[in-house]
């Protein structure tokens, strides 16, 4: 059968049509040849043909189709092609309340196949009329329980299907009992790699969560700050009441010692209390312009839908440290927890719901396909903020992705914290501080002391006493009584720690205690002290993320500062000295966002947490944390 050009058919029937092509692997010339061969005009819109990963292209297609259909407001949507495009278009059509015609429904082939679960949803729930390309495809649909009156056999896989659906729209419209001037929209996609069902579900879940957050944003942003604060205050109270079961849940998820988990729950809850109080202090300013002719008014408004990505090592505290200021500022959020610790994040979300936070304001998306999910969210123009805590490597990738939509980003990335002990330091205090700075959370913390620089006059005593204390720690399952150090999170982490220690020994370091994994089940590693570590040893350039303390000796203050700053990271530093003047001078010279003087813990909800260099962008906690989720608006006023 010879096909009349689609454009001429549509003009003759006075039915406007808009053609959207989502051929991800076509360049523009190939795309035009493809449509010309089908007797069709060049597409009005091309989606997903740009660069980036498959996940990024898929996300661009999903977001672009919905945006295009919402802009066009068609009365009929014709979907043709692979699972990504057809599902996206059908979901957008459902949102618009218009019928869907699915071309090539029921198709099964080795080269072009749709996951059964997705196909069933598309055919049974989202499509009003199904055009089948073969008797086998028709039988497949009948076998899935699709009513016969919803199925039309139109022949050839691509050519006759498209001709029937687009070039002969009156037949389709008559079957759907629509008027003859309906607006027809076709989405076309050539065969290419099909996303796995799990990755596709992650992408669709991401867009659904963003939509929920976007829908809830106007109401939550308009909620009085005091009312938002009361929700956070109630969340603090509920979290405090449930501290023990939450701590035990956390131990089961990531293995930390129960005492560390209890401390984290207390710390995590404090972010809700702090921002319950801080949210009412989102103060602007009013001043007279220098020329005196007008006033300068400054406001801080909610930035909008915010994507929050948190790590496994502090699954409660990293969630509340982001959710608290976001909600206080009037933003809605989508939280993606680490795949190792989804249950803690879901428990926090449940507490917020019970505290009175409306539906859609806080959305939690656990996933084993973080790439597809995150790419989909960052490609959505409704997302205006990304707050990420994790490795510098992943942070770099996210910044590149966020650049495409110029999304506002806060990054709390890796650390390589130096711990400086000067000759006049109180060694008792320095040992206690080192135990906290190194062994908090088993060393699996971005703030963990990673490199110990000790003045040569104090190094022998410090090394021996630290080794003695670490060797006395009880290693075991986190829920057992008396355990000081639980297992590392997984085998990869333990292997990395073991490899770094072996490398340090080859570089000339001496093992004073530990230095191996115990012979027992689980991802355990013995608390380890390495002495006489060469200043250029490889272990000093890595974030260890384990219970290992490498000790380097230094001769003077200038050398200590130089060694401490010889890293791409700059999150936190620790300084122990009996001379406060020197300690403050050293603190100012250290290239890090935070410095602890004669103390091994710096984290506090009321303090601005964050780093410099490649340890991140922005600050969390304090008033600065609230401002991270706002946009500054300047209003010029005359009076």
Active-site entry in 123, 231, 409, 446: 446
Q: Extract the tokens encoding 39.
A: 């007797």
- Nearest to 343, CA basis, from 370, 312, 386, 369: 312
- Nearest to 567, CA basis, from 416, 353, 412: 416
Active-site entry in 9, 68, 412, 543: 412
Confidence (pLDDT) at 83: 56
Confidence (pLDDT) at 123: 58
- Average pLDDT for consecutive 10-residue bins of the chain (639 residues)? 35 47 50 50 58 59 71 67 63 70 54 49 56 62 65 46 44 42 34 47 80 95 98 98 96 93 97 97 94 94 98 97 98 96 94 96 92 88 96 95 94 97 98 97 96 98 98 94 93 95 96 94 95 97 96 98 98 98 98 98 97 97 98 93
Look at the block and give the residue holding tokens 């000067």.
Answer: 422
Helices (H) and strands (E) counted in the chain, each on its own, are 22, 23
What is the crossing angle of helices 342-354 and 243-254, to 10°? 160
Confidence (pLDDT) at 119: 55
Of the candidate CATH numbers 3.40.605.10, 2.40.50.90, 3.40.50.1820, 3.40.47.10, the domain formed by 201-286+304-387 belongs to 3.40.605.10
Confidence (pLDDT) at 64: 72
Rounded to the nearest 5°, which phi and psi values hold at 292?
80, 0
Q: Where are the domains of the chain?
A: 6-195, 201-286+304-387, 417-568+572-604
Confidence (pLDDT) at 358: 96
Cβ-Cβ contacts under 8 Å for 223 (sequence gap 6 or more) = 330
DSSP class of residue 511?
A: E
Confidence (pLDDT) at 207: 81
- Nearest to 405, CA basis, from 382, 431, 426, 421: 382
User: pTM, whole model, 2 decimals?
Assistant: 0.76
What CATH number should be reported for the domain whose range is 417-568+572-604? 3.40.309.10
Which fold does the domain 6-195 belong to in CATH?
Rossmann fold (3.40.50)
Residue 533 and residue 436 in contact, taking contact as beta carbons nearer than 8 Å: no
Q: DSSP of 345-368, one letter per residue?
A: HHHHHHHHHHTTPPTTTEEE---S
Q: Identify the helix (H) or strand (E) that includes residue 288.
A: strand 285-288
Cross-strand bridge partners of residue 575: 420, 597
Look at the block and give the residue holding tokens 């010879």.
Answer: 2
CA dihedral 61, 67, 70, 71 (to 10 degrees): -120
State yes or no: is 628 an active-site residue.
no
Cross-strand bridge partners of residue 548: 528
Cβ-Cβ contacts under 8 Å for 166 (sequence gap 6 or more) = 6, 9, 10, 17, 40, 78, 184, 186
State yes or no: is 446 an active-site residue.
yes
């Amino acid at each position: 059968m010879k096909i009349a050009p689609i454009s001429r058919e549509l003009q003759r029937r006075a039915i406007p049509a808009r053609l959207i092509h989502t051929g991800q692997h076509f360049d523009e010339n190939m795309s035009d040849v493809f449509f010309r061969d089908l007797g069709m005009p060049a597409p009005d819109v091309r989606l997903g043909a740009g660069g980036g990963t498959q996940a990024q292209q898929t996300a661009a297609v999903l977001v672009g189709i919905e945006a295009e259909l919402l802009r066009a407001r068609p009365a009929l949507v014709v979907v043709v092609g692979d699972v990504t495009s057809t599902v996206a278009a059908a979901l957008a059509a459902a949102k618009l309340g218009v019928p869907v015609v699915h071309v090539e429904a029921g198709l099964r082939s080795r080269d072009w196949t749709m996951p059964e679960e997705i196909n069933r949803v598309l055919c049974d729930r989202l499509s009003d009329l199904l055009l089948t390309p073969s008797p086998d495809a028709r039988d497949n649909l009948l076998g899935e329980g699709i009513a016969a009156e919803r199925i039309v056999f139109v022949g050839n896989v691509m050519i006759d299907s498209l001709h029937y659906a687009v070039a002969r729209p009156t037949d389709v419209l008559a079957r759907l009992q629509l008027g003859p001037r309906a607006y027809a929209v076709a989405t076309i996609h050539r065969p290419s790699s099909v996303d796995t069902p799990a990755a596709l579900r992650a992408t669709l879940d991401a867009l659904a969560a963003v939509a929920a957050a976007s829908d809830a944003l106007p109401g939550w942003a308009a909620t009085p700050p005091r009312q938002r604060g009361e929700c956070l205050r109630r969340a603090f109270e509920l979290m405090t009441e449930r501290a023990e079961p939450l701590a035990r849940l956390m131990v089961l998820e990531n293995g930390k010692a129960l005492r560390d988990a209890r401390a984290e729950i207390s710390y995590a809850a404090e972010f809700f209390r702090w921002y319950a109080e801080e949210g009412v202090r989102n103060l602007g300013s009013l001043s007279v312009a220098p020329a005196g002719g007008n006033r300068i008014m400054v406001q801080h408004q909610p930035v909008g839908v915010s994507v929050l990505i948190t790590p496994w090592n502090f699954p409660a505290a990293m969630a509340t440290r982001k959710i608290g200021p976001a909600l206080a500022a009037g933003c809605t959020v989508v939280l993606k927890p680490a795949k190792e610790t989804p249950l803690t994040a879901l428990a926090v979300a449940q507490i917020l719901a019970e505290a009175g936070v409306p539906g859609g304001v806080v959305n939690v998306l656990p996933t084993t396909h973080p790439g597809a999910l995150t790419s989909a969210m960052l490609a959505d123009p409704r997302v205006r903020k990304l707050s990420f805590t994790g490795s510098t490597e992943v942070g770099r990738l996210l910044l590149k992705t966020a650049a495409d939509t110029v999304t506002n980003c806060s990054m709390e990335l890796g650390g390589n914290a130096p711990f400086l002990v000067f000759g006049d330091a109180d060694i008792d205090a320095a040992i206690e501080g080192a135990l906290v700075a190194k062994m908090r959370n088993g060393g699996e913390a971005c703030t963990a002391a990673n490199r110990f620089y000790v003045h040569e006059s104090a190094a022998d005593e410090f090394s021996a006493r630290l080794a003695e204390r670490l060797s006395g720690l009880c290693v075991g399952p986190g829920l057992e009584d008396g355990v000081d150090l639980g297992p590392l999170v997984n085998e990869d982490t333990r292997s990395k720690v073991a490899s770094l220690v072996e490398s340090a020994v080859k570089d000339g370091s001496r093992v004073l205690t530990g230095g191996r994994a115990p012979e027992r089940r689980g991802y355990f590693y013995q608390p380890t002290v390495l002495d006489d570590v060469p200043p250029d040893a490889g272990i000093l350039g890595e974030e260890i993320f384990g219970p290992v303390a490498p000790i380097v000796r230094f001769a003077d203050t200038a050398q200590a500062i130089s060694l401490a700053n010889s890293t791409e990271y700059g999150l936190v530093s620790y300084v122990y000295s009996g001379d406060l003047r020197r300690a403050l001078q050293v603190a100012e010279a250290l290239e890090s966002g935070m410095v602890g003087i004669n103390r091994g813990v710096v984290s506090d909800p009321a303090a601005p947490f964050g780093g410099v260099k490649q340890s991140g962008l922005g600050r969390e906690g304090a008033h600065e944390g609230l401002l991270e989720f706002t946009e500054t608006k300047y209003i010029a006023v005359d009076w």
